[in-house]
A = this chain, B = another copy of it.
Amino acid sequence: MEPFSFQVEARAGRARVGRLFTPHGAVETPLFMPVGTAGSVKGLMPKDLEAIGSQVLLANTYHLLLRPGPERVRALGGLHGFAGWKGPWLTDSGGFQVMSLGHMRRIDEEGVVFQSHLDGRLIKLTPERSIAVQEALGADLIMAFDECPPYPSPREYLEASLERTLRWLERSLKAKTRPDQALFGIAQGGTDPELRRRSTLETIRFDLPGYAIGGLAVGEPKEAMFAMVELSTRLLPEDRPRYLMGVGHPEDLVAAMGLGVDLFDCVYPTRTGRFGSALVPEGRLNLKNARFLEDRRPLEEGCDCYTCQTFSRAYLAHLVRAGEMLGGILLSLHNLRHLHRLTEAARQAIREGRYGDFAREFAGRRFGREVPPWFREALAAGGHW
Which B residues touch A306, using CB under 8 A? 45, 47
Residues in A62-106 with C-beta less than 8 Å from chain B: 63, 67-68, 72, 75-76, 82-84
Give the complex CA separation of A42 and B325 in angstroms.
6
Which B residues touch A38, using CB under 8 A? 318-319, 322, 324
Which B residues touch A67, using CB under 8 A? 318, 321-322
Give the complex CA separation of A321 and B321 in angstroms.
27
Interface residues on A, range: 35 or more
Q: Given A40-B326, A45-B306, A329-B43, are A84 and B314 also a contact pair (CB < 8 Å)?
A: no
Please pick, from B45, B324, B327, the residue contacting A330 in the complex, using a CB distance under 8 A: B45
Please pick, from B43, B63, B75, B83, the residue contacting A43 in the complex, using a CB distance under 8 A: B43
Q: Does A311 contact B (CB under 8 A)?
A: yes
Give the complex CA separation of A310 and B318 in angstroms.
31
Give the complex CA separation of A294 and B330 in angstroms.
31
Proximity string of chain A (8-47) to chain B, C-beta cutoff 8 Å, 1 when within and 0 when not:
0000000000000000000000000000001111111111
Q: Does A296 contact B (CB under 8 A)?
A: yes
Please pick, from B39, B43, B68, B326, the residue contacting A293 in the complex, using a CB distance under 8 A: B68
Q: Given A45-B329, A311-B84, A329-B45, are A319 and B76 also a contact pair (CB < 8 Å)?
A: no
Please pick, from B40, B46, B47, B314, the residue contacting A72 in the complex, using a CB distance under 8 A: B314
Q: Does A315 contact B (CB under 8 A)?
A: yes
Contact across chains for B326 and A42 when beta carbons are under 8 A apart: yes
Residue positions of A touching B, CB distance < 8 A = 38-47, 63, 67-68, 72, 75-76, 82-84, 293-294, 296, 306, 310-312, 314-315, 318-319, 321-322, 324-327, 329-330
Q: Given A45-B306, A45-B326, A326-B42, are A321 and B84 also a contact pair (CB < 8 Å)?
A: no
Please pick, from B45, B76, B293, the residue contacting A314 in the complex, using a CB distance under 8 A: B76
| A300 vs chain B, min Cβ distance (A) | 16
Most chain B beta-carbon neighbours within 10 Å: one of A41, A311, A318, A327: A318
Query: Nearest chain-B residue to A312 (Cβ)?
Result: B76
Contact across chains for A319 and B47 when beta carbons are under 8 A apart: no
Give the complex CA separation of A84 and B333 in angstroms.
16
Query: Nearest chain-B residue to A310 (Cβ)?
Result: B84
Give the complex CA separation of A68 and B329 in angstroms.
19
| A10 vs chain B, min Cβ distance (A) | 35
Give the complex CA separation of A296 and B68 in angstroms.
14
| A271 vs chain B, min Cβ distance (A) | 13
Contact across chains for A310 and B46 when beta carbons are under 8 A apart: yes
Please pick, from B39, B43, B72, B311, the residue contacting A294 in the complex, using a CB distance under 8 A: B72
Query: Nearest chain-B residue to A68 (Cβ)?
Result: B318
Give the complex CA separation of A38 and B316 in angstroms.
12
- Known interface pairs A72-B318, A76-B296; 9 further A-B residue pairs with C-beta atoms within 8 A, sorted by A's residue number: A39-B318, A42-B325, A44-B326, A45-B306, A46-B310, A76-B314, A82-B314, A83-B315, A84-B315
| A52 vs chain B, min Cβ distance (A) | 13
Which B residues touch A40, using CB under 8 A? 319, 324, 326-327
The 9 closest A-B pairs by CB, nearest first: A40-B326, A68-B318, A38-B322, A84-B310, A43-B325, A40-B324, A84-B311, A76-B314, A82-B315
